[in-house]
Structures are given as C-alpha cells and as structure tokens.
Amino acid sequence: MTDIKPARILVADDHTLMREGLRRIIEGAPDMLVAAEATNGQEVIAHVRKGELDLVLLDLSMPGKSGVPLIKQIKEEFPKLPVLVLTMHQEDQYAVRSIQAGASGYLTKESAGTELLNAIRRVAGGRLFISPEVAEQLAMNAMPGSNKELSHKALSDREFEVFRMMVEGISVTDIAEQLNLSAKTVSTHKARILQKMNMQSLAQLVRYAVEHGIAGERSASED
C-alpha cells in the first residue's frame, strides 16, 4: 500500500487561540498537517518562498500587508500555490474580491468547525470552495456594466480595505498602524474613497455600508 503524503499547510492568523484551534482540527486528519504558522503578511511571504507548502490557509485581516493585496502577491510569485481564505467577514464582497485576486476558496470562521477539512481537501485538490451566493455574485460581476452599479465596486482593493475598516469604526490612526501605512496615506485613501463614491462624510459611508451588507449597524466617528 502506498503511503499518501499529507498536504502541508501554512496557517496564517494573528490570533494565537485561532491558530491553535485550527492546528487541532487539521492535525486530527491523516491527510494533512500544519507545516508552518504566520502572524503577519511578511511571515506569510517568507514561508511560501521556502517552497515547502501545498496550501495557504489565510486570514484576511493581519498586521502589515494582508487581505487581497497579500493574496495577489502570493499568486504572482507562486501561481500554483492554492490559497484558502478563512475570515470572520461573511459579506459576499470580500469573497468576490478574494476569488478575483486568485484565492481558490473562501470560508468564514463561523463555519470552520464543520467545513474546514472539506474546504482544505477541495482547494488542495485543485478545486474551488465557494458558496452558491458567492458564485452568483461572481457571475453577476462578469456581466457588462455590472461594476458601475454599486459605487464601492469602483474602489481599488486597498481602498476597499480602508473603506471597510473606516465603516467599522476604526480610526485613521489605527488603520494606519494595522496596515503598516502612514496616517497621511490613509487620509489620502479616505479622500479618494469619498470622491469615488460621491459622498461627503464618513456617516454617509457607514449608511451605505449597512444598506449593502458590507458592515453591521454600528457607530463611527471621524478621525
């Protein structure tokens, strides 16, 4: 009988308890193992460049480069390395942007306990793991003129990331720290977001985000 080589997985998440929980789930399966762990984008790139991985299990929100820009860098340098996004964000827009950037799957942390191993096996096997809702949104985005229907679709990936953090009530200073950017750069992104979305204030952005399911109902204050 031929031994099956387990899939070597990089678990990238900046929360220790989450990484420990994922390790327990993964290493309970005979066909996969946690080969490395990372807590930020720099560590992710350092590990994938060693060329000893079969899959990256990636949290969207980590210090430094993260989210869609990090997915793009991984796929640019290692186009054949599958990326499975594991995130707390349930909104389809995050999933759509992740898949368009090159991720092969999108899984929320809420459903990780029951779906994680199946998702890993599908993605590691060269298939996609996405919900029917995300598949529908991807199809709709491919239709002519679709990107003009909702103003947030005009945002770049970095602008969308800043937009999402702003409407969740995170200050410019804290956004800059989390994304490893200067406050001036974040403020520039903020101005471009308002301009592209034809809005005048953060309060308008928050209302828009709530109406379109990009953020939950919460208060936000200008920085």
Average of per-residue pLDDT across 142-167: 78
* pLDDT of residue 2 exceeding 60: no
Question: Helix axis angle, 67-77 relative to 41-48, nearest 10°?
Answer: 10
In angstroms, what CA-CA distances link 172 with 19, 79, 179, 187, 207?
28, 33, 10, 7, 18
* pLDDT of residue 1 exceeding 80: no
Number of H helices, E strands in the chain: 10, 5
The pLDDT score that the predictor gives to residue 53 is 95
The pLDDT score that the predictor gives to residue 73 is 94
Same structural domain for residues 72 and 117? yes
- With cut-offs at 50, 70 and 90, classify the pLDDT of residue 154: confident
User: CB count, 10 Å around CB of 59?
Assistant: 24
Average of per-residue pLDDT across 78-102: 86
The pLDDT score that the predictor gives to residue 143 is 65
Same structural domain for residues 37 and 127? yes
User: CB count, 10 Å around CB of 195?
Assistant: 11
User: CB count, 10 Å around CB of 75?
Assistant: 18
Domain for residue 219, yes or no? no
Contact 95, 106 (CB under 8 A): yes
* pLDDT of residue 96 exceeding 70: yes
Same structural domain for residues 159 and 203? yes
What are phi and psi for residue 16, nearest 5 degrees?
-60, -45
- With cut-offs at 50, 70 and 90, classify the pLDDT of residue 90: low
Residue-averaged pLDDT of the chain = 86
The CATH number covering residue 187 comes to 1.10.10.10
Instruction: Give the residue carrying structure tokens 């997915």.
Output: 71
Point out the domain boundary residue: 105, 140, 175.
140
What tens digit of pLDDT does each residue of 3-16 get? 678 999 999 999 99
Q: Quick one: tokens of 163?
A: 């937009």
Q: Quick one: tokens of 11?
A: 């678990």
- With cut-offs at 50, 70 and 90, classify the pLDDT of residue 135: confident
Same structural domain for residues 45 and 93? yes
| pTM exceeding the 0.75 threshold for the entire prediction | no
